[in-house]
Chain A
Amino acid sequence: GQQVMQIPQYQHVQEGEDFTTYCNSSTTLSNIQWYKQRPGGHPVFLIQLVKSGEVKKQKRLTFQFGEAKKNSSLHITATQTTDVGTYFCAAYSNDYKLSFGAGTTVTVRA
């Protein structure tokens, strides 16, 4: 079945710095979604990318879908303590089954 791999597993960031987390698939994806899960919370939908090469921004977060639609990235600028949590990418392997990556857990040093 469809699998998405995420790297890195952990990201320790100094407050104010930038970082990027990556999501890769061996097969072409129809779309990709990103979720954020705060410690002790539930996943919250952030964004969906559909088109090849698509770039979307949400304040300090920039999401990109690769040209071949096999990879995606999330770039966060000027990291803040509110960015702490685990970021998941997820993709549909068929019309109804959403497969999540293992996530990138972000901690921030003040």
Chain B
Amino acid sequence: DAGVTQSPTHLIKTRGQQVTLRCSPKSGHDTVSWYQQALGQGPQFIFQYYEEEERQRGNFPDRFSGHQFPNYSSELNVNALLLGDSALYLCASSFQSGRGNQPQHFGDGTRLSIL
């Protein structure tokens, strides 16, 4: 039973570039959430995708966008990268229950460094 998988594991970009991160949810899960975790801080909610739609968004600018595919996998896109975007980006999956009480199953994350 595969858990949440993310790619790539590490990425180095320069300011102004664009990046795409990928996530495959745990088998049987249909909901994907993305989080940004800066060093020494807790994960910050970026957005959540369910039924290929963004249904909740955290306090992140429009430079952060996403997509969910029919097979429930997801992408996170970040445009016009800033130095402050350097962080660990975590994908988490869950099974939609209609209410926000589901445990989140996290992947190992993508470590993004902006030079």
Contacts and interface: CB of A to CB of B under 8 A. Distances in A.
A43 interface: yes
24 contacts: A1-B59, A30-B101, A33-B104, A42-B90, A42-B106, A42-B107, A42-B108, A43-B104, A44-B106, A45-B104, A45-B105, A88-B42, A90-B42, A94-B56, A94-B100, A95-B99, A96-B48, A97-B45, A97-B48, A97-B58, A98-B100, A100-B42, A102-B42, A103-B42
Interface of B: 33, 35, 41-45, 48, 50, 55-56, 58-59, 90, 98-101, 103-109
Interface string A13-55: 0000000000000000011010100000111110010100000
Bin chain A's interface residue count. 20 to 34
Contacts of B100: 30, 92, 94-98
